[in-house]
Amino acid sequence: MNIGAPFDLVAGWLQEHAVLPLLYYFGFMQWEEWSFGWSLFAVYGVAQVIAALLICWPLEHFWPVERWKDHKAEWVDVLYTLINRVGFLPLITFVLFTQIQMSINGWLADQGLLAPTLERLAPWFEGRPVITFFLYAIVLDLGEYWRHRLSHVFNWWYGLHSLHHAQRQMTFWSDDRNHVLDEVIGFLWFTVLALIMGVPPLQFPMLVLLLRLLESMSHANARISFGWLGERLLVSPRFHRAHHGTTAAGRVSVNYGGVFPWWDMIFGTADFSPTFAATGDPSAEEVLATGGYWAQQAAGLRRMWRELVAP
C-alpha cells in the first residue's frame, strides 16, 4: 500500500481540473510537464495544515500552557502559515529547486560527472525511497540546526529572525511567522544542502513539509513533554518552548533543533529543564509581536538595518 497514493490522486485531479486549465487559459502550457509537482506540493501543504490543526488544536485546547482572552495576535501567524505552506512561496521553492538542480546536474553531466546521490554512493538504497527519505530528513535537520543557530549569532540576521521570536502568544501557527528575507535565506540554505545530497525533486517538497509539520507541533501552546527518553529522540513542545523563552531570545539561546534534539545534545546547546517558559523577545519592537503582516515585515527590515549600521 502506497501511503502517498491518495495525495497523488488528489494532486492529479487538481492538475487536470485546475492547474492545467489555468495554464491553458493564461498561455503557460509550456510548463505542463512540471505542473504535477506543483499540484503535489500544494496538496501536501494543505494536508499538512489540516494535520497540524487536527493534532495541535486539541492539544492546545485541553492542555494549554497559557490561556489568553484575546487571540488577535495569533491571526497573523495563520496568515504566515497559509502563505508559506500552500501559497506562492512553496510553488516558487519547488520551481527554483527543480530548475537549479537540473542546471547544475546537467552541467556536471556535460563534464562526464554525475551528481552525488545516496543511491549512487550505495546502490542498495535504490528503490528504497522511504529509507532514503528519512536519511535525507536527518541530514537536512542537521543543516537546519546550524542555519538556525547562526541566525542567532549574527546580529543583522537576528534582526530578521526576531520577528519569529517576538510572538508572546506562541501556538502551532507560529512556526511560519518569519520575515520573508529570513525565509529566502532559509530556502537557499536548505536547497543548497538538498542539491549537494541529490534529493529527488519530488521528495523535496515532502521533506520540507514533513519537517515543518513536526516543527509546527513543537511550537504548540501545549503542556506536553515526551518524557526523559522521548525528549532526547524528538523535539517536543516543551523542548522548543525553552528556545522561545524570553531569556533565550537573542544571541545566546538553547534548543535550536527543529525536529531532532540530537544536534543540541552533540553541540552542547540542549536544555532539558522541565519548565514551560513564557515566550517572546523583550528587545523587539511591539509591532513585531502584535502588528500586521506588512508592519512586521517592515519592522524586521528596520531592525536588521540598525544592526548592520551599528558600530
Of 51, 59, 95, 202, which one interacts with other proteins (CB under 8 A)?
A: 202
Of 106, 230, 282, 292, which one interacts with other proteins (CB under 8 A)?
A: 106
> What's the rounded Cα separation, in Å, for the pair 125 and 117?
10
Residue 21 touches other proteins, criterion: CB under 8 A: yes
Of 87, 116, 200, 250, which one interacts with other proteins (CB under 8 A)?
A: 200
Please name the residue that has the C-alpha cell 533565550. Answer: 248
Residue 87 touches other proteins, criterion: CB under 8 A: no
Residue 231 touches other proteins, criterion: CB under 8 A: no
Cα–Cα–Cα angle for 163, 41, 52, nearest 5°? 55
Please name the residue that has the C-alpha cell 527590515. Answer: 301
Residue 18 touches other proteins, criterion: CB under 8 A: no
Residue 84 touches other proteins, criterion: CB under 8 A: no
Residue 98 touches other proteins, criterion: CB under 8 A: yes
Name which of 5 and 310 has its Cβ closer to other proteins: 5
Please name the residue that has the C-alpha cell 497540524. Answer: 52
Residue 108 touches other proteins, criterion: CB under 8 A: yes
The stretch near other proteins (CB under 8 A) out of 104-112, 136-144, 241-249, 276-284 is: 104-112
Smallest distance, other proteins to C-beta of residue 167, A: 38
Q: Restricting to residues 251-280, which ones interact with other proteins according to CB under 8 A?
A: none
Of 63, 75, 99, 233, which one interacts with other proteins (CB under 8 A)?
A: 99
Decide: 175 and 82 in contact? Cβ < 8 Å: no
Residue 9 touches other proteins, criterion: CB under 8 A: yes
Question: 223: number of CA atoms within 13 Å, CB side?
Answer: 8
The stretch near other proteins (CB under 8 A) out of 23-31, 51-59, 165-173, 259-267 is: 23-31
Residue 1 touches other proteins, criterion: CB under 8 A: no
Number of residues that bind other proteins (CB under 8 A): 44
Name which of 87 and 201 has its Cβ closer to other proteins: 201
The stretch near other proteins (CB under 8 A) out of 111-119, 145-153, 258-266, 285-293 is: 111-119
Residue 124 touches other proteins, criterion: CB under 8 A: no
Sites of contact with other proteins (CB under 8 A) = 4-5, 8-9, 12-13, 15-16, 20-21, 24, 27, 29-30, 32-33, 36-37, 40, 98-99, 101-103, 105-110, 112-115, 117, 119-120, 126-129, 200-202
